[in-house]
Structure 1
């Protein structure tokens, strides 16, 4: 983001062991003790799988502030210690997440409740304590973990095994050999977790996305694994793939790992591997405490040269097959360790085009990156179902990419993106310690000598963890700024050592770095309101090149969500006071209010008459703006001079209850922004160009389309047709190609506000795309001379006030039916404009609700927010979890711009 001036499947990737940097001991704190009622946590120990090579995640912790614990670390970390009065925490939990789960504080997503949580509670270290059981001490026992925010002293069975100088940084990975400390039966591990400050630590911050949690994400947010094994450990298992492009007829696989002898005697280990039906093996002899690479290549093992490989593709371009690597190390015919990795076979290239923009190609086929910025939960709580719901939404919107600026999610996230075919762009975040070495105190503290090994260990650990995921197509080693030469070399060396297989990008901004070169991306914004025609200008954030983060800023949620997140007084302020600070917008002074947005809403649509009117105008405005953003980039993808190669909507979602930067809200409700994106990104699409009035057909499908008919009609708001033209024989190539079907001429008889209806039909007359625009004969005027980093001012607005005078009409919902199978229900409904006049029903929305009128979420609609002329109908389907209806029949709430709200019972 641009700098603001004001139990889980373990992966056996390389383990980055961060050496001791400073010999530090934990100090005592004089902070005021936390005064809360504490539930007793569960005291059962995690039972460790005894099988060699299997890892067991600690099931959870008991946590408590060190301000309240007077016992010594030796006592706290010894089996049998009483945790009466401590809080329970899950296996991945910040301190605040655990306190919220215990009911300590009121809902932080509502109103200003989060401000009432005392920050002083999180200025001292907190204990994280867990027990685990092992059946015997014959095997070696190792503790494997990352995700400690920000640092920790680690104790096992009363002994310190690492200090906070070594265990520091959210992304560093650590492996501690506990073999001399563990005992048969119950053992204890305790982390004394240090407070976090993203300005001072290489961890995770929140920039200006949301109001940061008062604990600053302090805690342990990834699994802590207990591994059991024999004398030889397998580490760093991965597969390097080389796909023949463009034929895709063959692929070479190179399997790599490290074998480490943890014993004091020499050993010979037999390393066996399988990939499906392919098997291979070799022996490796290791001196005491020696580590050696183990490599299987097609030259030494020809079976690793695959003919007709199953190639992995992004969604919409092909299938997503995955392969599995299994390795075992045996000593004296007994399994000592095992490793398992899932990988895909695909090729990623991203050269700079003639205009200097980065152009991604997967398996030899170029594609326009259509993405969104990802936010995890504000308290870093992992919920696989919730994450999967959001990823399905991304596919529903026609997006192909998710960008993760910091906050790099756990392994399961990338397992899901692999399975769904969603590309990912992970990288380090801006505006805190990660970029402190570039900008000094403006963003984060300047780096010291101790920060460089932490950065290197972080890069090595994340590279090893992510490299085999086919959905990962780059790593952005900088965000707003490229790193300096020293740190870039640190990153690039770590990536090279990990056999990083995809392009390394200098920054998400227009930066260059000495080793990785030009980023080929731009970060020109905007981040606040601009009109729809802005996106068609070939300058600033307009549709050229690769824009790594951009949008028109505010995305006001639906009224249902607003009432869940704001108090009555805040709801009144929302529509009455454009200059009022909005707690649910951003902590940044730049984005504290909605004034730019509200001024445009009033200037274009007329002053809101109340909360309902404000929200409905917001949905209309967000629909047209988000649609224009994606449509402009889609149209220009094959531009001859300055093609658009990528756009990342800022942001796809929010981790909090927010008023900006979201295509879907915290509760997964869908409004104008969502359906505007869905319309723009449909696979075969007809669209209107704000800059030159061209009607263009864009085809994102692999195959070409021909024999199409495009029809354009212009209407007054009352529904009186003023222009009509049909063009037959339209043809368009595939893979993002576009063609102009016609250009709409100036029509003198149009009123200031008018409607444009675009319909695309195939050779059989079947409608394949429909698009309706509300336009004005008076354009929005942009003042580019006063563009700043977050927006371009608008000096005069388009006149869309005529929409308020549209005659009311009626929409009837009929033929409602529901089918259910496998826990999923699908409700089908036909909506028809039954009005007696000529007025269309503009932006007709159907919400699936329960018996109380609460939206059933998540839900995926075939289409929604449709505009229907009298007599026209649309059949829509909604897919959702059957259990979300709680045994009741579905109900459908139908509303629209000029349609009265009505609820219809389903069956």
Structure 2
């Protein structure tokens, strides 16, 4: 019986041998200036660390100090100025020891145990149980580390890990320039940490063990860096039976033992598998490629709006002696991404599964300026981008390659990713800049260690290359890397390690978007007359074009002290006059754009009226670009859609994940099938982004006055060809006549032949003087609002506007705590800042994390002509 029991338990032991877990709690730390012992002593169990403070890992030194109340919140008010900057203190001030006690021992003969670091900024020494783990100092923020610690573990199972983390060197002078004095770019790390025009400096330059630390247990072979590629030949449609797709796979097998290991490498996906007999030499790591696997009638992955985001669960395993040694699970999206050139626009365009995609994107900096990353925050932020009806996120080069969890969210929500490497023209020498410490020729050679940069590139490619959302690699923001780095990346590293994605040498390259207009090849930035987006031609694939983004008053309350909540103004010369805290948080002026809505009375009134400008700006931006789809443009990427700090510009939601009207203006203007009004020509048109023609649709054009009187101007049956824009009705003379005195609401509706409303687009048009005089004196709304819980975490709100009432204009829904009446965050709204015609109703779905031990939330609603109301949820 005893031998049989042993045989029965062995499979369980082998499975356990592959497990990994994160060391993410119970760390302690102390500044190096307060510790006289060396790493050999500190990593000994006898060394006392009782007086050390709890450390946040993953995290930065500043995160740890904040969590221990050693510094004030740098995101609030002027608090960041109260924190000592590393440039003044010297690097030792933010050089820290991090210590973690953990239990682990060898339980299975032949078991191998690895200590893995996914990211340390910037360099470190590692000790375990009184021994040095890394023989040489590790350097590089974007370079993973893995150490076989099998022989270093204590037999009793009690272990101590000690890590000495050094900050970047040099740290750069945060002198107010883009990237400060630029010298932060001498290393291979984050450039924004020395400050930018949308953020103040991070005082520790994000020093710390900023990403996961894991313990991994395997058999004799450790399977690393698996690679799965899908080939989808031809032009595909979303529905119907699909021709086969090809799956190619490879993996590196690491043998840390002194014996040759023979075994089987196997890929399994969708009930099919392919395997290969391999031999791995002792103390080596070798890559092995499997035979192609064919998927019949595959379920394809599409960008948001075009089709579903189908994902397969794939597994790559290695069996040695009949037992599983190691395995990796991979989420696979079957799709193929290519690029081509449009001779009419003189720019490139993207195809997915053979279909061309008009890019509607947003620039992303980083999820959190203090590197407080989480799966939940990634999911929320990427979901917001999906809710904007975008299809691409560009990760800007002054930050990082995001964590795999970010790309997993993009896979889920259908966001293509345009990934920059770690360069920016500002710090890397593109422009003459008196704020910089070194001249352009010197800065052009940054970083100092080109070999480290290239090693980091290779490592980060391996980290994220399996994600179907990853669509493009980019050499850097507005500048190429130095020539030797560029050529190695383009001609060697990327073809070898990936080879399936479009490589763009720099973000506004002529090879992506031929610049015939002069200037830098991107922009403009800041507030625009909405007509500009329609009539002024900009760069044909514009990687950065942006505008304003102040949140509403509740958003401002979260980071601006009450005494500083003073409405901004502007001088006769047009320059903003703004409170010092607003200025510190990088306010970008709305200037005279608020005035047509009436003179601002206070900060709350300003923030309320700013939402009207926000909505109009971003709706117009995407409508203007879409109106010239494939003739002027192949895509546009908004600068920018989010902030990792409490900045007051370029954001569809604030740092606390509270959306503003920018998000919903963009949600409207970016619809896949969308009726729109050109304010310059007065033409009504429809844009169809789908791969199929849309037929038998009714286009209705209505006008409503301030009292709610609704006039149907015309309605016609229409059809629109795939991926195109079609003009239908010139209505400018009649609309301007009706708007002359008080302004008017222009309503465009798309209806099916069953009278189902597919889209409704409501514009508020100014009077002949350019003022919204009618809005200033609108009758009180009679909107009726009900809400019911339809599932855990889901609420349906119904907004009904009785016949004979005025337009219920620009209503903001919020889900709030019943005690404080403060918003629950994040909440996802199917629409917001909603206007409802007389005699009409609209339903809005709200989704949030339902904490069952909390009281039922309330629904708050307020509108332009509706006083704030609290609605109980049934």
Answer yes or no: same fold by TM over 0.5: yes
Change (3 A) 1:449 1:410: closer
Q: How many residues align?
A: 812
Q: Which residue of 1 aligns with 2:727?
A: 740
Q: Which residue of 2 aligns with 1:74?
A: 40
Q: Give the match's secondary structure for 1:460.
A: helix
Deviates more, 1:395-404 or 1:462-471: 395-404
Q: Give the match's secondary structure for 1:176.
A: strand
TM-score normalised by structure 1 residue count: 0.83
Of 707, 710, 716, which aligns to 1:728? 716
Whole-angstrom CA distance in 2 between matches of 1:872 and 1:277 = 50
Q: Give the match's secondary structure for 2:565.
A: helix
Task: Say if 2:425 and 2:431, in contact at 8 Å, map to a contact too.
Answer: no
Q: Give the match's secondary structure for 1:633.
A: helix
1:59 and 2:50 aligned? no
Q: Give the match's secondary structure for 1:560.
A: helix
Q: Which residue of 2 aligns with 1:322?
A: 311
1:127 and 2:118 aligned? no
Shift in Å, 1:340: 3.3
Q: Which residue of 1 aligns with 2:535?
A: 537
Q: Which residue of 2 aligns with 1:215?
A: 204
Deviates more, 1:875-884 or 1:382-391: 875-884
Task: Say if 1:438 and 1:481, in contact at 8 Å, map to a contact too.
Answer: no
Change (3 A) 1:203 1:776: same
Task: Say if 2:742 and 2:774, in contact at 8 Å, map to a contact too.
Answer: yes
Task: Say if 2:568 and 2:579, in contact at 8 Å, map to a contact too.
Answer: no
Shift in Å, 1:585: 5.7
Which runs of 5 or more structure 1 residues have no equivalent in the other structure? 1-47, 299-303, 779-797
Q: Which residue of 2 aligns with 1:610?
A: 602
| 1:344-386 residue CA offsets vs partner (Å, 9 max, x unmatched) | 2211011222133121111011111212222311211122222
1:186 and 2:158 aligned? yes
Summarize the alignment of residues 505-544 of structure 1 with structure 2, pairs less than 5 Å apart: 505-511=504-510, 523-540=521-538
Task: Say if 2:598 and 2:776, in contact at 8 Å, map to a contact too.
Answer: no
Q: Which residue of 2 aligns with 1:504?
A: 503
| 1:538-561 residue CA offsets vs partner (Å, 9 max, x unmatched) | 433xxx622222211x21111111
Shift in Å, 1:520: 12
Change (3 A) 1:466 1:438: farther
Q: Which residue of 2 aligns with 1:97?
A: 63
Of 552, 555, 566, which aligns to 1:561? 555
C-alpha RMSD over aligned residues: 3.1
| 1:571-626 residue CA offsets vs partner (Å, 9 max, x unmatched) | 02546893236545667xxxx554x4233323x43431222321222011111011
Shift in Å, 1:855: 1.8
Whole-angstrom CA distance in 1 between matches of 2:705 and 2:697 = 27
Q: Give the match's secondary structure for 1:221.
A: coil
Summarize the alignment of residues 751-830 of structure 1 with structure 2, pairs less than 5 Å apart: 751=740, 754-755=743-744, 756-776=746-766, 799-803=770-774, 805-814=776-785, 816-821=786-791, 823-830=792-799
Q: Give the match's secondary structure for 2:625.
A: helix
Of 825, 829, 835, which aligns to 1:857? 825
Whole-angstrom CA distance in 1 between matches of 2:775 and 2:264 = 77
Task: Say if 2:76 and 2:559, in contact at 8 Å, map to a contact too.
Answer: yes
Change (3 A) 1:480 1:449: closer
Change (3 A) 1:437 1:223: farther
Q: Which residue of 1 aligns with 2:9?
A: none
Change (3 A) 1:564 1:289: closer
Q: Give the match's secondary structure for 2:62.
A: helix
Change (3 A) 1:336 1:584: farther
Q: Give the match's secondary structure for 1:279.
A: strand
| 1:678-707 residue CA offsets vs partner (Å, 9 max, x unmatched) | 111233321111232111122334443222
1:201 and 2:163 aligned? no
Which runs of 5 or more structure 2 residues have no equivalent in the other structure? 1-12, 172-183, 237-241
Summarize the alignment of residues 139-538 of structure 1 with structure 2, pairs less than 5 Å apart: 139-162=111-134, 166-184=137-155, 185-196=157-168, 197=171, 198-206=184-192, 207-246=196-235, 248-298=242-292, 304-354=293-343, 355-374=345-364, 375-405=366-396, 406-431=399-424, 435=428, 441=438, 445=443, 447=445, 451-492=449-490, 493-511=492-510, 523-538=521-536
Whole-angstrom CA distance in 1 between matches of 2:299 and 2:807 = 49
TM-score normalised by structure 2 residue count: 0.86
Task: Say if 1:49 and 1:228, in contact at 8 Å, map to a contact too.
Answer: no
Shift in Å, 1:754: 2.0
Task: Say if 1:575 and 1:611, in contact at 8 Å, map to a contact too.
Answer: no
Q: Which residue of 2 aligns with 1:875?
A: 843
Whole-angstrom CA distance in 1 between matches of 2:72 and 2:327 = 46
Of 848, 851, 854, which aligns to 1:886? 854
Task: Say if 1:95 and 1:219, in contact at 8 Å, map to a contact too.
Answer: yes
Q: Which residue of 1 aligns with 2:4?
A: none
Whole-angstrom CA distance in 2 between matches of 1:884 and 1:358 = 50
Whole-angstrom CA distance in 2 between matches of 1:383 and 1:436 = 34
Whole-angstrom CA distance in 2 between matches of 1:458 and 1:156 = 25
Summarize the alignment of residues 647-658 of structure 1 with structure 2, pairs less than 5 Å apart: 647-658=636-647
Task: Say if 2:787 and 2:872, in contact at 8 Å, map to a contact too.
Answer: no
Task: Say if 1:753 and 1:799, in contact at 8 Å, map to a contact too.
Answer: no
Task: Say if 1:205 and 1:432, in contact at 8 Å, map to a contact too.
Answer: no
Task: Say if 1:820 and 1:882, in contact at 8 Å, map to a contact too.
Answer: no
Q: Give the match's secondary structure for 1:856.
A: coil
Task: Say if 2:73 and 2:79, in contact at 8 Å, map to a contact too.
Answer: yes
Q: Give the match's secondary structure for 1:192.
A: strand
Whole-angstrom CA distance in 2 between matches of 1:293 and 1:856 = 49
Q: Which residue of 2 aligns with 1:36?
A: none
